[in-house]
Amino acid sequence: MNRDRLYFLLLNIGHFLDHLFTLIFATVAALVLYREWDIGYAEMLVYATPGFFAFGAFSLPAGWLADKWSRDGMMCVFFIGIGLAAIATGFAQTPLQIGVGLFVIGMFAAIYHPVGLAIVTSKWRDTGMRIATNGVWGNLGVAGAALITGVLIDHGGWRMAFILPGLFSIAMGFTFIGLRWSSILREHSARMAVADEPEVRASPSYRALVIRVSAIVFMTTAVSSIIFQATTFALPKIFEERLQGLAMEISAWIDGIDASGQGDVATVIGSLAFTVFAVASIAQLIVGRLLDRFGPRPVFMVVATIQLVFFSAMPGLTDGFALLAALGFMLGAFGQIPINDYMIGKTARGAYKARIYGVRYVVSFTVLAASLPLIAFVYQNWGFDTLFRILAGAAAVIIAIVAALPRRLPTPEAVPVAAE
């Protein structure tokens, strides 16, 4: 493997670990700690909240540091810092200690999205496909967190679920340092040199288009985050309500007996949800290829239309038809993930790219956190059919916003400040 491929692989592993570390505690709390520490599951989750807050809030300072110092250097800080934080969390003796550990994990986890994506969109020309591939690795971290944590709990205890991934992350950090040390030194020197150069000013046409595209990016980020959180968080519950008949038939077919027990049905429902997530992840690769070929405006319109159609169709559906509709709107929900990152990567000037990604993820993670009470409120009062109609409306809003996108994205250009 050449150095360029190893570089991209390490960035992808970083995305995998980023989402893995933020979800280890969810499985540990659900399977072990509520019994071992005799604390209710809901109470345990309170200690995870500061970590998710840090995951979003520290994205902006992480991006600022990367632009001012070194993006590769910040990736080294990410790998080693989050690994050490995870190991320390594995030695926690009280809920407060584990809450502090999760907060520190969240601080280091916040580094990845603004910094890693800025590297991916700056170094390689096939931006769409690179972002999509990187996104799939992140999805694997989400999907694999419960599995990996469960295996480590069974074979080494819950502390190993933090410690072993932490050791692996540190090893990846030193590998990254060995690969990119000379680049870190050059990058820092280049940042210092840029600071001494004469001031430059973006052309008026570029600034106007950047403002327009930025507004669209942040508005669609907020709305699409509601859709993403509602679909990924609620899908297992949706399947439990809508796919009972199909799940019982599949369970009976597998076992060759009448599936009257809820255990078998629950396993089938979980498997169906995992399958939908896994298949829908492929949409990111397709969208990445289309972005490189056609640009973001037509691709975004198609993806949002897919969501509108399948969210509108979902109310009242059950079993096989519900499964097909869910696969349709999940393809749209996952397919939209790389589009805004692609637009930032193509539009933002290099000196500010990581900071802009930081702002984008502050918006995204804030909306993700705020969406959970909305989902709970709508479901409790009106059920999932109303939620689907709300999400269809959100998709329609995205279509209206994306219609204002220019057909061609502005490219970073600048003109020297006129001498006085």
Give the model confidence (pLDDT) of 194-246 as tens digits: 544 455 566 677 777 878 888 899 899 999 988 987 887 778 778 878 888 88
* CA distance linking residue 180 with residue 203, whole number of Å: 34
* CA distance linking residue 157 with residue 101, whole number of Å: 18
Per-residue confidence (pLDDT) for residue 188, from 0 to 100:
58
* CA distance linking residue 60 with residue 67, whole number of Å: 11
Per-residue confidence (pLDDT) for residue 209, from 0 to 100:
80
What is the average pLDDT value for the chain, to the nearest integer?
84
Q: What is the Rg, in whole angstroms, of the alpha carbon atoms belonging to the chain?
A: 22
* CA distance linking residue 299 with residue 357, whole number of Å: 21
Per-residue confidence (pLDDT) for residue 189, from 0 to 100:
63
Q: Which residue has the tokens 């360029």?
A: 4
Instruction: Decide if 333 contacts 232 (C-beta within 8 A).
Output: yes
Tokens of 294: 């056609």
Per-residue confidence (pLDDT) for residue 211, from 0 to 100:
84
Domain residue extents for the chain: 1-197, 202-414
Domain range 1-197, CATH class: mainly alpha
* CA distance linking residue 280 with residue 284, whole number of Å: 8
Confirm whether pTM is higher than 0.95. no
Interval 140-156 mean pLDDT:
81
Per-residue confidence (pLDDT) for residue 68, from 0 to 100:
85
Interval 77-101 mean pLDDT:
95
Instruction: Decide if 360 contacts 306 (C-beta within 8 A).
Output: no
Report the CATH fold assignment for 202-414: Growth Hormone; Chain: A; (1.20.1250)
Tokens of 403: 């219609």
pLDDT at 19 over 80: yes
Query: Can 1-197 and 202-414 be said to share one CATH topology?
Result: yes
- Per-residue pLDDT tens digits for 241-270: 888 888 888 877 776 654 444 445 666 777
- Per-residue pLDDT tens digits for 20-66: 998 888 778 767 887 888 887 667 777 887 887 888 889 889 988 98
Report the candidate in 161, 157, 135 with the shortest Cα–Cα distance to residue 26.
161
